[in-house]
Homo-oligomer: A and B are copies of this chain.
Amino acid sequence: MTNVSIIGVGQTDVREHWDTSIRHLAWYAIEAALDDAHITKVDALYVGNMLAGQLSNQNHLGALVADFAGMRGIEAVTVEAADASGGAAMRQAVLAVKSGLVETALVVGVEKTTDETGSPVTAAQATGMDADYEVIHGLSYAGMGALLMRRYMFEHGVEVVDFAGFSVNAHANAGSNPLAMFRNRLRADRFASGPMVADPITLFDAAPLGDGAAAVIVTSSERALDMVPKPVEIAGSALATDHIALHDRKDVLWLQAVETSTKKAMDAAGVTHADIDLFELHDSFTVMAALSLEASGFAERGMGWQLARDGEIGRNGRIPISTFGGLKARGNPLGATGVYQVVEVARQLRGQAEDCQVADAKIGMAQSVGGSGATAVTHILRLPV
Contacts and interface: CB of A to CB of B under 8 A. Distances in A.
Given A98-B100, A101-B95, A374 B67 contact: yes
Question: Majority SS of interface residues in chain A?
Answer: mixed
Contacts of A374: 60, 63-64, 67
A117 interface: no
A81 interface: yes
Interface string A99-136: 11110000000000000000000011011111110010
A277 interface: no
A67 B371 CA distance: 14
Contacts of A94: 99
**Which of A94, A124, A132, A260 counts the most chain B CB atoms within 10 A?**
A132
A50 B82 CA distance: 14
Nearest to A245: B67
A338 to B, nearest CB: 12
Contact of A241 (B66, B81, B127, B240): B66
A223 interface: no
**Which of A58, A132, A244, A371 counts the most chain B CB atoms within 10 A?**
A244
Given A54-B53, A77-B81, A63 B244 contact: yes
A313 interface: no
A53 B51 contact: yes
A371 B60 contact: yes
Interface residues of A, number: 67
B63 A370 contact: yes
A243 interface: yes
A92 B371 CA distance: 23
A80 interface: yes
A257 B67 CA distance: 12
A383 interface: no
A385 interface: no
A79 B82 contact: no
B92 A77 contact: yes
Contacts of A124: 53
25 contacts: A1-B99, A51-B59, A57-B123, A57-B135, A60-B81, A60-B129, A60-B375, A62-B88, A63-B81, A67-B243, A67-B244, A73-B242, A74-B240, A75-B238, A75-B239, A75-B240, A76-B239, A76-B241, A77-B88, A77-B92, A77-B375, A95-B95, A95-B102, A98-B101, A99-B99
